[in-house]
């Protein structure tokens, strides 16, 4: 099993290029991040080339977090802002050598107008992705942590993918979020395998290292491998102490 370090939560005491090197030293197989925009893409690309690690994905800018924003793509009335951020994300990804962009939906009333807005913006993202050879990811996020998030279940995400019929569009299946929202992860992943572009893990309920809690990841990851998932497993958890002190789980999971 191959593991990617999510530098949005891990090694956050280091500048992003240094975090790349730290993850390499600690044995991670790849990387992913949240919002790398403060780092010049050339600096990130150099760190990736030096370490030989792939950067699997990044997020579109979430908007004004202090005002409650958690993504823009489904927000009616903010279409121009959302499109600009999608274009900025794809430009950064192309310049840095990042392989996928997670288009963040945002908090909405769940209505038809928001859904249409989200789908229109995803279609635009897929146009950019097609030209640049980048994947578009959508991630169902639990509404306990992010109340009102527009996309909160895998059935909704799968329906969007079926309806838009864009090969560039995939699900980012975060086991932490989906255990909270719907459970039955082994069956869900098996059913959705062809639509999944990336899988992430963290303990439930504390979102710490994936070695305790409700989920038996040692069993689940063996199952995921057995059914044919060949991608990376994203370590998107919040360390309980320091990143390095909590890395013992990797040896056990491998």
Return d(Cα 170, Cα 160) in angstroms, integer.
10
CA-based max dimension of the chain: 48
Q: How many residues does the chain have?
A: 254
A 10 A CB-CB count for 73 gives 30
Spot the catalytic one: 85, 115, 139, 209.
139
Please say if 209 is a catalytic residue. no
Distance of CA 85 to the CA centre of its chain: 17
Which of these is catalytic: 32, 85, 115, 236? 236
Told to judge if 79 belongs to the known catalytic residues of this protein, a careful annotator would answer: no
Sheet of 232-235: strands edge to edge?
A: 30-32, 2-6, 232-235, 196-201, 169-174, 135-138, 100-102, 58-59
83 contacts 119 by C-beta, under 8 angstroms: no
Closest CA to 114 of 79, 75, 88, 77: 75
> Which residues are the active-site residues?
139, 236
């Amino acid at each position: 099993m191959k593991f990617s370090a999510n530098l949005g939560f891990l090694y956050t005491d280091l500048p992003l290029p240094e975090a790349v090197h730290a993850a390499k030293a600690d044995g991670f197989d790849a990387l992913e991040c949240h919002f790398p925009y403060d780092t010049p893409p050339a600096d990130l690309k150099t760190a990736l080339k030096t370490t030989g690690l792939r950067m699997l994905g990044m997020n579109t800018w979430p908007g004004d977090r202090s005002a409650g924003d958690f993504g823009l793509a489904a927000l009616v009335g903010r279409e121009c802002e959302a499109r600009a951020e999608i274009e900025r994300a794809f430009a950064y990804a192309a310049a840095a050598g990042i392989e996928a962009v997670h288009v963040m939906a945002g908090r909405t009333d769940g209505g038809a107008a928001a859904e249409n807005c989200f789908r229109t913006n995803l279609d635009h993202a897929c146009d950019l992705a097609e030209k640049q050879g980048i994947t578009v990811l959508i991630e169902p996020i639990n509404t306990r942590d992010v109340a009102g998030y527009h996309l909160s279940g895998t059935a909704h995400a799968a329906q969007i993918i079926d309806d838009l019929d864009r090969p560039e569009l995939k699900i980012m299946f975060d086991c932490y979020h989906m255990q909270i929202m719907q459970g039955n992860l082994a069956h869900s992943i098996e059913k959705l395998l062809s639509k999944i572009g990336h899988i992430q893990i963290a303990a439930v309920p504390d979102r710490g290292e994936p070695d305790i809690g409700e989920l038996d990841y040692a069993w689940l990851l063996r199952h995921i491998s057995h059914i044919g998932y060949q991608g990376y497993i994203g370590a998107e958890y919040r360390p309980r102490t320091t990143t390095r002190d909590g890395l013992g789980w990797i040896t056990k999971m491998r």
